[in-house]
Each structure stands twice: as C-alpha cells, then as structure tokens.
Amino acid sequence: MDRALLVGINTYPGAPLAGCVNDVMDMTAFLTAKRGFAPESIRLLTDARATTEGILERLNWLLGGLAAGDRVLFHYSGHGTQVAQRDASGSVDRMDDAICPVDFDWSEAHMIRGVQFKQLFANIPQGVEFVWISDSCHSGDLDRMLPGPGGAPVTQRFLVPPADLAWRAITAIENKIAPADFIHAPDGLNLALVSACKSDQTAADARFGGRPNGALTYYLLQALNAPKSMARPLTAVVSKVRVALKRAHYPQEPQMAGAKAMMERPFLAK
C-alpha cells in the first residue's frame, strides 16, 4: 500500500509565502510519474484547508493500518517556529519546534509541535518505508528577508514570535534550554526525516526561473530526477542537494535524522 500526505501553505495572514503549493504539486507529480503512486493514494492540503484540525485528521489517515512493505510520505512546506513553554510554576522549562497550520495563532490549539509528531510516528511498523520532508525552518530573527542568489530578496519560512513570546524564548536561551527540535525528534523512530536546514538556519522561499518554490524541495526534486538517483541511498541524494544549495549561495544545509537503515535506502524504494 502507498500513501502520501502533502501540505503546502502560502496564504498565511500577515506573513504569506509563495512557493509552498508549488512544492507539494511538484512532489505529487514526481510520486505519480516516477514512484508509481496512484492518485487515489495521495492527499493534498493547501492554503485555507490546511488547518490544524485538517492536518491532524489526515495524519491519522496516513498512519492508519500500516504494515510491512507499505510506502508512506509526509511532506510539509510552510512556516515553522519555536515556542518556549512554561511549567506549572511559571518557569520556562523547554523550547519546542512547531509547524504552523494556516489557522496558526500562537495558541496551543493551533500549532503542531515536534513532540506531537514524535508521538504520532512512534508506532510506525518495521518494514514500512516512511519518509518525512520538512521544507520549513524553526529558528530565525526579526529580519524575514534574506539576500538570495543575485541579491534578490528571499523570504524565510519562519514565523517570528510576538514580543511577549519572543521574550520567553530569550529566557529559554539564557537558561541554556536547547530546543526539542525536529532534527532530533525522530531518533529511534522507523522513518527518515529530511529537514530543510540546521536548527540555527533558515529555509528559503525562493524563485527559480521566475517560479516560486522552496529551495529544499526544488533541489531535492532535481537530485531525485537525475540519472541513477532512484538507486542511490537517500543520504547520497541529500548530499547532492547540500552541494547544489551551497553552489547557489543559499545559507541552508539540509539535515537527515531517523533510522539509519531507512536513510540508507533509495527514496521510497519498493
């Protein structure tokens, strides 16, 4: 059985992106043309439909009844952020990475944190080929516009917290509280995570030939479409993506985590 859930969000109120819907449409075309996924095995959520409730509902569909031999992909393109949390006494005790659904409003009810993903993915059966692509970032500063190739502005896929939550995050940093980020969340889980950048970097929402895309998704699909890439380990494919991003002067280095055996297999191999 094959299943794929792809979430792409451009229409964030006050902080729009441009390339996220193209990312998931391009990945969908690749899955059907090059990896043999049937259209009915793929679910897309974009823009207004990509609410917290909608994403969680379809994640439950994605993960239901999996068995050895199944191929599964979860692809998210959109904003990410970091949120500092307080304990019962009011002290800041942890930092969480989170993705931002279209109805994200900084409330607990409208974000999906790294710890939730770890819980959702904890029981993926052995023998399932599960890949998670996160074309977003989870750290940033108050300047959302970065210089891209040729000096053109590039928007980062990070939502900056409002002042009160930013102060809470500063408190966490001063207390040396490391974020429970996505790069570490999958350790020991039966999946391979490809994330757009290191935890202290930003992921670019850029343009290629005048068409918007996430830099990770664009170069990942280029690498996967290259000759013989279908037989190469995912680690080798992501290494090519790192080289391509560096050559194009994007200040992000894609990261991998998860089960070693999964990362050393070709991308969604049968």
Task: From 134, 135, 133, 5, select the one nearest 66 (Cα to Cα).
Answer: 5
Residue 84 lies in a domain: yes
Rounded CA gap, 106 and 165, in Å? 9
Structure confidence at residue 115 (pLDDT) = 83
Task: Give yes or no for a contact between 216 and 153, defined as CB atoms under 8 angstroms apart.
Answer: no
Structure confidence at residue 15 (pLDDT) = 92
Residues 39-58: tens digit of each pLDDT: 999 999 999 999 999 999 99
Structure confidence at residue 93 (pLDDT) = 56
Residue 270 lies in a domain: no
Structure confidence at residue 161 (pLDDT) = 72
Rounded CA gap, 72 and 66, in Å? 9
Q: How is residue 158 annotated by DSSP?
A: B
> Residue 240: what are its φ and ψ, rounded to 5°?
-65, -35
Residue 257 lies in a domain: yes
CATH for 210:
3.40.50.1460
Domain count, the chain: 1
Q: Show the low-confidence residues of the chain (pLDDT under 50).
A: 140-147, 151
Residue 269 lies in a domain: no
Structure confidence at residue 85 (pLDDT) = 66
Catalytic residues: 79, 137
Rounded CA gap, 210 and 232, in Å? 30
Reported pTM: 0.88
Domain housing 116:
2-263
Residues 203-243: tens digit of each pLDDT: 999 999 999 999 999 999 999 999 988 899 999 999 999 99
Burial call 40-79: b when 16+ CB within 10 Å, e when fewer: ebbbbbbbeebbbebbeebbeebbeebeeebbbbbbbbbb
Structure confidence at residue 270 (pLDDT) = 76
Residue 268 lies in a domain: no
